Structure 1
Protein backbone atom coordinates (compact mmCIF):
# COMPACT_ATOMS: atom_id res chain seq x y z
CA UNK A 1 0.00 0.00 0.00
CA UNK A 2 2.85 2.36 0.87
CA UNK A 3 4.39 1.99 -2.57
CA UNK A 4 1.04 2.44 -4.35
CA UNK A 5 0.41 5.70 -2.49
CA UNK A 6 3.67 7.08 -3.85
CA UNK A 7 3.61 5.57 -7.34
CA UNK A 8 -0.07 5.78 -8.34
CA UNK A 9 -2.03 8.05 -6.06
CA UNK A 10 -5.24 7.76 -8.08
CA UNK A 11 -5.19 3.98 -7.87
CA UNK A 12 -4.45 4.17 -4.13
CA UNK A 13 -7.44 6.51 -3.68
CA UNK A 14 -9.73 4.18 -5.63
CA UNK A 15 -8.53 1.25 -3.59
CA UNK A 16 -9.26 3.10 -0.35
CA UNK A 17 -12.70 4.02 -1.66
CA UNK A 18 -13.48 0.36 -2.41
CA UNK A 19 -12.32 -0.67 1.05
CA UNK A 20 -14.71 1.88 2.55
CA UNK A 21 -17.63 0.90 0.31
CA UNK A 22 -17.20 -2.77 1.18
CA UNK A 23 -16.50 -2.04 4.86
CA UNK A 24 -13.04 -3.60 4.77
CA UNK A 25 -11.82 -1.24 7.46
CA UNK A 26 -8.89 -3.46 8.41
CA UNK A 27 -7.42 -2.93 4.93
CA UNK A 28 -7.54 0.88 5.00
CA UNK A 29 -4.36 2.93 4.98
CA UNK A 30 -5.59 4.93 7.99
CA UNK A 31 -2.46 7.00 8.49
CA UNK A 32 -2.54 8.39 4.95
CA UNK A 33 -6.34 8.68 4.84
CA UNK A 34 -6.20 10.87 7.94
CA UNK A 35 -3.47 12.98 6.32
CA UNK A 36 -5.54 13.33 3.14
CA UNK A 37 -8.67 14.38 5.05
CA UNK A 38 -6.59 16.93 6.94
CA UNK A 39 -5.19 18.25 3.64
CA UNK A 40 -8.72 18.62 2.26
CA UNK A 41 -9.59 21.11 5.00
CA UNK A 42 -6.30 22.93 4.60
CA UNK A 43 -6.94 23.21 0.89
CA UNK A 44 -10.19 25.10 1.43
CA UNK A 45 -8.48 27.51 3.83
CA UNK A 46 -5.64 28.02 1.33
CA UNK A 47 -8.18 28.75 -1.39
CA UNK A 48 -9.85 31.35 0.82
CA UNK A 49 -6.50 33.00 1.50
CA UNK A 50 -5.61 32.96 -2.19
CA UNK A 51 -8.84 34.77 -3.11
CA UNK A 52 -8.31 37.22 -0.26
CA UNK A 53 -4.78 38.03 -1.47
CA UNK A 54 -6.21 38.92 -4.88
CA UNK A 55 -9.02 41.00 -3.38
CA UNK A 56 -6.75 42.87 -0.96
CA UNK A 57 -4.07 43.37 -3.61
CA UNK A 58 -6.53 45.03 -5.97
CA UNK A 59 -8.10 47.10 -3.19
CA UNK A 60 -4.64 48.40 -2.23
CA UNK A 61 -3.76 49.18 -5.84
CA UNK A 62 -7.13 50.85 -6.41
CA UNK A 63 -6.64 53.00 -3.30
CA UNK A 64 -3.13 54.07 -4.28
CA UNK A 65 -4.03 54.85 -7.87
CA UNK A 66 -7.21 56.71 -6.96
CA UNK A 67 -5.97 58.80 -4.05
CA UNK A 68 -2.23 59.18 -4.63
CA UNK A 69 -1.63 59.04 -8.37
CA UNK A 70 -4.99 60.28 -9.70
CA UNK A 71 -5.14 63.63 -7.83
CA UNK A 72 -1.67 64.46 -9.20
CA UNK A 73 -2.56 63.83 -12.83
CA UNK A 74 -3.18 66.78 -15.11
CA UNK A 75 -6.29 64.99 -16.39
CA UNK A 76 -7.56 62.67 -13.64
CA UNK A 77 -8.47 59.17 -14.76
CA UNK A 78 -10.88 56.72 -13.24
CA UNK A 79 -9.29 53.36 -12.61
CA UNK A 80 -12.13 51.06 -13.60
CA UNK A 81 -9.74 48.21 -14.39
CA UNK A 82 -9.78 47.05 -10.76
CA UNK A 83 -13.57 46.93 -10.44
CA UNK A 84 -13.98 43.63 -12.28
CA UNK A 85 -11.17 41.84 -10.46
CA UNK A 86 -12.43 43.12 -7.10
CA UNK A 87 -15.94 41.94 -7.92
CA UNK A 88 -14.75 38.54 -9.17
CA UNK A 89 -12.66 37.96 -6.04
CA UNK A 90 -15.64 38.84 -3.84
CA UNK A 91 -17.85 36.41 -5.76
CA UNK A 92 -15.25 33.63 -5.48
CA UNK A 93 -14.91 34.18 -1.72
CA UNK A 94 -18.70 34.26 -1.25
CA UNK A 95 -19.12 31.06 -3.25
CA UNK A 96 -16.36 29.30 -1.31
CA UNK A 97 -17.88 30.28 2.05
CA UNK A 98 -21.37 29.34 0.87
CA UNK A 99 -20.07 25.85 -0.02
CA UNK A 100 -17.95 25.66 3.17
CA UNK A 101 -19.85 27.59 5.87
CA UNK A 102 -17.37 26.65 8.59
CA UNK A 103 -14.84 28.94 6.85
CA UNK A 104 -16.81 31.85 8.29
CA UNK A 105 -14.96 31.19 11.54
CA UNK A 106 -11.66 31.52 9.67
CA UNK A 107 -12.32 34.68 7.65
CA UNK A 108 -10.82 37.30 9.99
CA UNK A 109 -7.70 35.24 10.57
CA UNK A 110 -7.46 34.56 6.83
CA UNK A 111 -7.51 38.33 6.13
CA UNK A 112 -4.71 38.77 8.68
CA UNK A 113 -2.69 35.97 7.05
CA UNK A 114 -3.33 37.18 3.48
CA UNK A 115 -2.60 40.86 3.92
CA UNK A 116 1.25 40.69 3.95
CA UNK A 117 1.26 38.89 0.57
CA UNK A 118 -1.25 41.37 -0.84
CA UNK A 119 0.80 44.30 0.45
CA UNK A 120 4.04 42.91 -1.02
CA UNK A 121 2.29 42.25 -4.32
CA UNK A 122 0.81 45.74 -4.46
CA UNK A 123 4.20 47.31 -3.82
CA UNK A 124 5.90 45.12 -6.43
CA UNK A 125 3.20 45.64 -9.07
CA UNK A 126 2.80 49.39 -8.53
CA UNK A 127 6.57 49.94 -8.68
CA UNK A 128 6.60 48.65 -12.26
CA UNK A 129 4.83 51.85 -13.27
CA UNK A 130 6.46 54.39 -10.94
CA UNK A 131 9.64 56.38 -11.40
CA UNK A 132 12.46 55.42 -9.04
CA UNK A 133 11.93 58.50 -6.86
CA UNK A 134 8.27 57.55 -6.34
CA UNK A 135 8.83 53.83 -5.63
CA UNK A 136 6.71 52.29 -2.91
CA UNK A 137 8.18 50.47 0.09
CA UNK A 138 6.95 48.68 3.21
CA UNK A 139 5.91 51.99 4.78
CA UNK A 140 3.68 52.88 1.82
CA UNK A 141 0.87 50.74 3.23
CA UNK A 142 -0.14 49.93 6.82
CA UNK A 143 1.52 46.98 8.55
CA UNK A 144 -1.84 45.30 9.18
CA UNK A 145 -4.95 45.25 7.07
CA UNK A 146 -6.91 48.45 7.69
CA UNK A 147 -10.21 46.84 6.73
CA UNK A 148 -12.40 44.11 8.19
CA UNK A 149 -13.57 41.07 6.29
CA UNK A 150 -17.15 42.35 6.33
CA UNK A 151 -16.02 45.68 4.94
CA UNK A 152 -14.02 44.29 2.02
CA UNK A 153 -16.86 41.94 1.13
CA UNK A 154 -19.48 44.69 0.80
CA UNK A 155 -20.49 44.71 -2.85
CA UNK A 156 -20.09 48.44 -3.52
CA UNK A 157 -17.42 49.27 -0.95
CA UNK A 158 -14.08 50.67 -2.11
CA UNK A 159 -11.31 52.07 0.07
CA UNK A 160 -10.95 55.77 0.65
CA UNK A 161 -7.83 57.86 1.16
Structure 2
Protein backbone atom coordinates (compact mmCIF):
# COMPACT_ATOMS: atom_id res chain seq x y z
CA UNK A 1 0.00 0.00 0.00
CA UNK A 2 1.39 3.40 -0.95
CA UNK A 3 1.90 6.12 1.60
CA UNK A 4 -0.88 8.12 0.00
CA UNK A 5 -3.28 5.16 0.16
CA UNK A 6 -2.50 4.59 3.84
CA UNK A 7 -2.95 8.31 4.49
CA UNK A 8 -6.52 7.95 3.22
CA UNK A 9 -7.33 5.84 6.28
CA UNK A 10 -5.45 7.96 8.81
CA UNK A 11 -5.79 11.61 7.74
CA UNK A 12 -8.45 12.21 5.10
CA UNK A 13 -7.93 15.99 4.89
CA UNK A 14 -4.21 15.66 4.18
CA UNK A 15 -4.91 12.83 1.71
CA UNK A 16 -7.41 14.98 -0.19
CA UNK A 17 -5.05 17.98 -0.28
CA UNK A 18 -2.11 15.88 -1.51
CA UNK A 19 -4.24 14.38 -4.29
CA UNK A 20 -5.41 17.87 -5.28
CA UNK A 21 -1.79 19.09 -5.36
CA UNK A 22 -0.77 16.10 -7.49
CA UNK A 23 -3.61 16.76 -9.93
CA UNK A 24 -2.66 20.43 -10.25
CA UNK A 25 0.95 19.45 -10.87
CA UNK A 26 -0.06 16.89 -13.51
CA UNK A 27 1.59 14.06 -11.56
CA UNK A 28 -1.17 11.60 -12.35
CA UNK A 29 0.90 8.45 -11.84
CA UNK A 30 1.26 9.32 -8.14
CA UNK A 31 -2.50 9.70 -7.46
CA UNK A 32 -4.40 7.33 -5.20
CA UNK A 33 -6.75 6.38 -8.03
CA UNK A 34 -8.60 3.63 -6.16
CA UNK A 35 -9.69 5.89 -3.32
CA UNK A 36 -10.32 8.87 -5.60
CA UNK A 37 -12.75 6.77 -7.64
CA UNK A 38 -14.44 5.59 -4.45
CA UNK A 39 -14.83 9.18 -3.23
CA UNK A 40 -16.20 10.42 -6.57
CA UNK A 41 -18.70 7.58 -6.65
CA UNK A 42 -19.80 8.33 -3.08
CA UNK A 43 -20.23 12.04 -3.92
CA UNK A 44 -22.57 11.15 -6.77
CA UNK A 45 -24.55 8.80 -4.54
CA UNK A 46 -24.83 11.42 -1.83
CA UNK A 47 -26.14 14.03 -4.28
CA UNK A 48 -28.67 11.55 -5.66
CA UNK A 49 -29.83 10.65 -2.14
CA UNK A 50 -30.32 14.33 -1.36
CA UNK A 51 -32.22 14.86 -4.62
CA UNK A 52 -34.49 11.91 -3.81
CA UNK A 53 -35.06 13.02 -0.22
CA UNK A 54 -35.93 16.60 -1.10
CA UNK A 55 -38.24 15.51 -3.92
CA UNK A 56 -40.01 13.06 -1.60
CA UNK A 57 -40.78 15.80 0.95
CA UNK A 58 -41.77 18.31 -1.74
CA UNK A 59 -44.05 15.84 -3.51
CA UNK A 60 -45.74 14.83 -0.25
CA UNK A 61 -46.47 18.46 0.53
CA UNK A 62 -47.78 19.15 -2.97
CA UNK A 63 -50.10 16.15 -2.58
CA UNK A 64 -51.29 17.36 0.83
CA UNK A 65 -51.83 20.82 -0.64
CA UNK A 66 -53.91 19.42 -3.48
CA UNK A 67 -55.91 16.77 -1.65
CA UNK A 68 -56.16 17.78 2.02
CA UNK A 69 -55.94 21.56 2.04
CA UNK A 70 -59.60 22.08 0.97
CA UNK A 71 -60.88 19.84 3.78
CA UNK A 72 -58.85 21.60 6.45
CA UNK A 73 -59.64 25.04 5.09
CA UNK A 74 -63.37 24.23 5.19
CA UNK A 75 -63.14 23.00 8.81
CA UNK A 76 -60.89 25.70 10.19
CA UNK A 77 -61.23 29.11 8.64
CA UNK A 78 -57.89 30.12 10.10
CA UNK A 79 -56.08 27.25 8.34
CA UNK A 80 -54.12 28.82 5.51
CA UNK A 81 -51.53 26.14 4.77
CA UNK A 82 -48.69 28.43 5.83
CA UNK A 83 -46.49 25.63 7.21
CA UNK A 84 -47.00 23.53 4.07
CA UNK A 85 -46.20 26.54 1.88
CA UNK A 86 -43.07 27.14 3.93
CA UNK A 87 -41.92 23.54 3.43
CA UNK A 88 -42.67 23.69 -0.30
CA UNK A 89 -40.71 26.94 -0.65
CA UNK A 90 -37.77 25.56 1.37
CA UNK A 91 -37.54 22.28 -0.56
CA UNK A 92 -37.68 24.09 -3.91
CA UNK A 93 -34.94 26.48 -2.80
CA UNK A 94 -32.76 23.59 -1.63
CA UNK A 95 -33.37 21.70 -4.88
CA UNK A 96 -32.48 24.78 -6.91
CA UNK A 97 -29.20 25.09 -5.03
CA UNK A 98 -28.42 21.40 -5.36
CA UNK A 99 -29.07 21.41 -9.11
CA UNK A 100 -26.99 24.56 -9.54
CA UNK A 101 -24.06 23.05 -7.59
CA UNK A 102 -24.36 19.67 -9.32
CA UNK A 103 -25.76 20.36 -12.81
CA UNK A 104 -25.22 16.74 -13.80
CA UNK A 105 -28.15 15.86 -11.54
CA UNK A 106 -30.56 17.57 -13.94
CA UNK A 107 -30.55 14.41 -16.02
CA UNK A 108 -31.65 12.41 -12.96
CA UNK A 109 -34.62 14.58 -11.96
CA UNK A 110 -37.31 12.69 -13.92
CA UNK A 111 -36.09 9.31 -12.67
CA UNK A 112 -35.84 10.60 -9.11
CA UNK A 113 -39.40 11.94 -9.25
CA UNK A 114 -40.66 8.54 -10.41
CA UNK A 115 -38.71 6.80 -7.64
CA UNK A 116 -39.72 9.27 -4.90
CA UNK A 117 -43.41 9.48 -5.78
CA UNK A 118 -44.62 6.18 -4.20
CA UNK A 119 -42.85 7.07 -0.94
CA UNK A 120 -44.34 10.59 -1.10
CA UNK A 121 -47.82 9.07 -1.42
CA UNK A 122 -47.14 6.84 1.62
CA UNK A 123 -45.96 9.86 3.59
CA UNK A 124 -48.95 11.97 2.54
CA UNK A 125 -51.31 9.10 3.45
CA UNK A 126 -49.75 8.72 6.91
CA UNK A 127 -49.84 12.44 7.59
CA UNK A 128 -53.35 13.07 6.27
CA UNK A 129 -55.17 9.83 7.02
CA UNK A 130 -56.62 9.95 3.51
CA UNK A 131 -57.09 6.64 1.68
CA UNK A 132 -54.59 5.56 -0.96
CA UNK A 133 -57.28 5.89 -3.64
CA UNK A 134 -57.24 9.67 -3.04
CA UNK A 135 -53.86 9.98 -4.71
CA UNK A 136 -52.98 9.35 -8.38
CA UNK A 137 -51.00 6.19 -9.14
CA UNK A 138 -48.29 8.19 -10.90
CA UNK A 139 -47.01 11.66 -10.25
CA UNK A 140 -49.53 14.21 -11.55
CA UNK A 141 -46.96 17.03 -11.69
CA UNK A 142 -44.35 17.67 -14.36
CA UNK A 143 -40.78 18.29 -13.28
CA UNK A 144 -41.20 21.91 -14.41
CA UNK A 145 -44.22 22.31 -12.13
CA UNK A 146 -42.50 20.63 -9.21
CA UNK A 147 -39.53 23.00 -9.43
CA UNK A 148 -41.55 26.13 -10.30
CA UNK A 149 -41.62 28.42 -7.27
CA UNK A 150 -45.01 29.81 -8.31
CA UNK A 151 -46.75 26.48 -8.92
CA UNK A 152 -49.26 25.14 -6.41
CA UNK A 153 -51.63 22.43 -7.61
CA UNK A 154 -55.31 23.08 -7.98
CA UNK A 155 -57.10 21.80 -4.91
CA UNK A 156 -59.29 18.74 -5.33
TM-score, shorter chain, exceeding 0.5 = yes
**What TM-score, normalized by structure 2, do the two folds share?**
0.78
1:142 aligns with 2:136: yes
Per the alignment, in what secondary structure is the counterpart of residue 85 of structure 1? helix
Structure 2 counterparts to residues 25-104 of structure 1, below 5 A: 25-71=28-74, 73=75, 75=77, 77-104=79-106
Once the two structures are TM-superposed, the CA of residue 51 in structure 1 deviates from its matched residue by 1.9
Once the two structures are TM-superposed, the CA of residue 61 in structure 1 deviates from its matched residue by 2.1
Q: Deviations over 1:72-113 (max 9, x none)?
A: x27573222211211121122223223333332222111112
Per the alignment, in what secondary structure is the counterpart of residue 18 of structure 1? helix
CA distance in 2, matches of 1:64, 1:6: 50
CA distance in 2, matches of 1:61, 1:74: 16
Gaps of 5+ in 1: 127-134
CA distance in 2, matches of 1:74, 1:17: 58
Structure 2 counterparts to residues 123-138 of structure 1, below 5 A: 123-126=125-128, 135-138=129-132
Q: 1:104 to 1:25 in 2, by over 3 A?
A: closer
CA distance in 2, matches of 1:106, 1:37: 17
Gaps of 5+ in 2: none
Contact 2:114 2:139 in 1 (8 A): yes
1:153 aligns with 2:147: yes
CA distance in 1, matches of 2:17, 2:62: 43
Number of corresponding residues: 152
Contact 1:65 1:79 in 2 (8 A): no
- Runs (4+) of structure 1 moved beyond 4 Å? none
Q: How well do the aligned residues superpose, as a CA RMSD in angstroms?
A: 2.5
